Amino acid sequence: MSNQSVQTVSTSNDKIKVALAVIAAIAGVVGFFYLKGQNKPALVAVGALVAGLVFAVLVLWTSATGRDFLNFAKESVRETKKVVWPTRKEAMQITGIVFAFVVVMAMFLWGTDKILQFLLYDLILGWK
């Protein structure tokens, strides 16, 4: 028998907080489209969206699952900033190589299709 304690992944309280955060985010989006459809000023509709999303983030921050997710999102943004994008010249060269490969592959597949068509329909089946 092991003496290690079992750590639960999330409590029911955390699940309720996450559900409330999802509902708040959905309410913000629904409020945005509802107010936009009522010909309200755009600032009011955007305010409803932002308020719903901010409330969702605040509620999510109070749960362990939400904090883990938000930390993951922050780390993801940090990692995307480390990406080294190719120069224009490199991008054009890569695009040219891909285009040439696609043309060669298309010609190969077309040739294979024509050879199989000739073998099956003309030689084996005798259809013309």
Same-domain check for residues 11 and 67: yes
Whether residue 7 has pLDDT greater than 60: no
Q: What is the pLDDT of residues 92-127, one digit of tens each?
A: 999 999 999 999 999 999 999 999 999 998 888 877
Same-domain check for residues 123 and 74: no
- Residue 18 CA, distance from chain mean position: 20
Same-domain check for residues 36 and 95: no
Tell whether 73 is covered by a domain.
yes
Same-domain check for residues 40 and 77: yes
Same-domain check for residues 18 and 42: yes
Q: What is the pLDDT of residues 67-85, one digit of tens each?
A: 888 889 899 999 999 999 8
Tell whether 110 is covered by a domain.
yes
| pLDDT, position 66 | 78
Same-domain check for residues 18 and 65: yes
Residues in the chain: 128
Q: What is the pLDDT of residues 9-39, one digit of tens each?
A: 567 888 888 899 999 999 999 999 998 888 8
Which range of residues forms the domain containing residue 33? 7-83
Whether residue 2 has pLDDT greater than 80: no
The count of domains in the chain is: 2
pTM for the model stands at 0.51
Q: Which three-class secondary structure string do you get for 74-102? A: HHHHHHHCCCCCCCHHHHHHHHHHHHHHH
